Amino acid sequence: MSPPRLIGTDDWPDDAVRALLTRAAELKAGAAGRSLAGRTLIMVFLNPSLRTRTSFEIAMARHGGQAVVLEPGRGAWAMETRHGVVMDGDAVEHIVDAARVLGRYGQAVAVRAFPSATTWTEARRDDVVHAFARHSGVPTINLESARRHPCQGLADALTLQESFGERPKGRRFVLAWAWHPRPLPTAVPASAAIAAARLGMEVVIARPPGYDLDPDDVAAIEAVAGRNGGSLSMTADLDQAVAGADAVYAKSWGCLADYGRPEVEAARRAPLRSWIVDERRMASTRDGAGIFLHCLPVRRNVVVTDGVLDGAWSRVTDQAENRLHVQRAVLETMLEGEVRG
Ligand code: CP
């Protein structure tokens, strides 16, 4: 049997995700954590992190386990992530060999690899995290890839449940595209929409023309919504989407049709600076009291105004805290069993 993997929560049964969220809430409330003594989680960060790295390191420590962090190119060998290439460039270690070796040292591996391919056709395959899952021989956790950020999605779900109860069916969740100086990955918006859909929420994606998510990700959100009594719709009218909403999740992402052509994408994005979540928009939410969400880090007064982030609407610090609690539940679930050797 293959070791468990958490690439995206949409690959997991709904009951398993619900059980994780219940366990995360118990741990947050002070329940004793199961021991992970003797277990090591090896995390490979091909891109920077504040929350993911810190919260996973602390989660392992809370359970008596150990976390090892590698940053290829900074203290660990630079890694080649493409397959079948002649490695006569800067990278001296192939991810397949790294995955095989790290799987012999640790009881789980975790990897962050933002999209780096030149085409979306290639980037959307999420080859790096799948290579670790295929070759490490141990449980594998996606710490954010091109398409999914499952631990962020779990923290988003826990935060929504804290505001609206365990099954906030019928509540409106708006994923609000925001202007940003660079085209960002679609992992967070896809994962957040999947999280809200699984709670049975009415998911509305407000985005300018040309900024649709990958069709397979839209299908994944629809499938999860369909199983859980939720819905998905799209609009290019941010004001209309936000008016009466229960939750507004701001996030920027790049135009996939322009992937790999930053100048073209920048020209498309240039006239869209009014796509920002501000006090006026949040005041139009249900009873003026909708909640504001963002995964962080966030560019203040670009994606969202200071007044929203520092106001009563904001749940972003709770969201970030919840990363710790959901990841403790993930680690308990994925690292159960005997430690070999
Ligand atoms: N939200 C999130 O993943 O934060 P980091 O990039 O700091 O890990």
Q: Mind listing the pLDDT tens digit for each residue in 73-96?
A: 999 999 999 999 999 999 999 999
Q: What is the distance in A from the centroid of ligand 1 to the CA of 49?
A: 5
Q: Which residue has the tokens 């002649």?
A: 86
Per domain, the residue ranges of the chain are 5-148+323-335, 152-320
Length of the chain: 341
Q: Residue 137 class from Cβ within 10 Å (0-12 exposed, 13-18 middle, 19+ buried)?
A: middle
pTM over 0.95: yes
In the block, which residue shows the tokens 């992190």? Answer: 49
C-alpha 52 to ligand 1 mean position (Å): 5
CATH code reported for the domain at 152-320: 3.40.50.1370
Q: Which residue among 45, 143, 144, 319 has the greatest number of ligand 1 atoms within 8 angstroms of its CB, and so is best to mutate?
A: 144
d(CA 40, CA 165): 34
Atom of ligand 1 nearest to the CA of 144: 3
What is the overall mean pLDDT for the chain? 96
Question: What's the helix, strand, coil split of the chain in %, to 5?
Answer: 45, 15, 40
The rounded Å distance from CA 205 to ligand 1 centre is: 22
Q: Which atom of ligand 1 is nearest to the CA of 50?
A: 7
Residue that is written with structure tokens 């779990």 in the block: 154
Strands (DSSP E) along 225-319, which ranges? 231-235, 247-251, 291-293
Residue carrying the six token digits 């941010």:
238
The Å distance, Cα 296 to ligand 1 centre, comes to 6
**Phi and psi at residue 5, in whole multiples of 5°?**
-140, 145
Pocket of ligand 1 (CB under 6 A): 49-52, 144, 152, 295-297
φ, ψ of residue 106 in degrees (nearest 5): -110, 170
How many angstroms separate the alpha carbon of residue 323 from the centre of ligand 1? Answer: 9
Q: Exposed, middle or buried by CB within 10 Å (0-12, 13-18, 19+), for 271? A: exposed
User: Which tokens in the block code for residue 100?
Assistant: 């095989």
Q: What tens-digit pLDDT sequence spans the chain (341 residues)?
A: 789 999 999 999 999 999 999 999 999 999 999 999 999 999 999 999 999 999 999 999 999 999 999 999 999 999 999 999 999 999 999 999 999 999 999 999 999 999 888 999 999 999 999 999 999 999 999 999 999 999 999 999 999 999 999 889 899 999 999 999 999 999 999 999 999 999 999 999 999 999 999 999 999 999 999 999 999 999 999 999 999 999 999 999 999 999 999 899 999 999 999 999 999 999 999 999 999 999 999 999 999 999 999 999 999 999 999 999 999 999 999 997 655 54
182 and 115 in contact (C-beta within 8 Å)?
A: no
Find where tokens 């069709």 sit: 215
Reply yes or no on domain 5-148+323-335 having CATH 3.40.50.1370: yes
User: What separation in angstroms does the CA of 227 have from each of 3, 220, 221?
Assistant: 26, 11, 10
Residue nearest to atom 6 of ligand 1 (CA): 49
Residue closest by Cα to atom 1 of ligand 1: 295
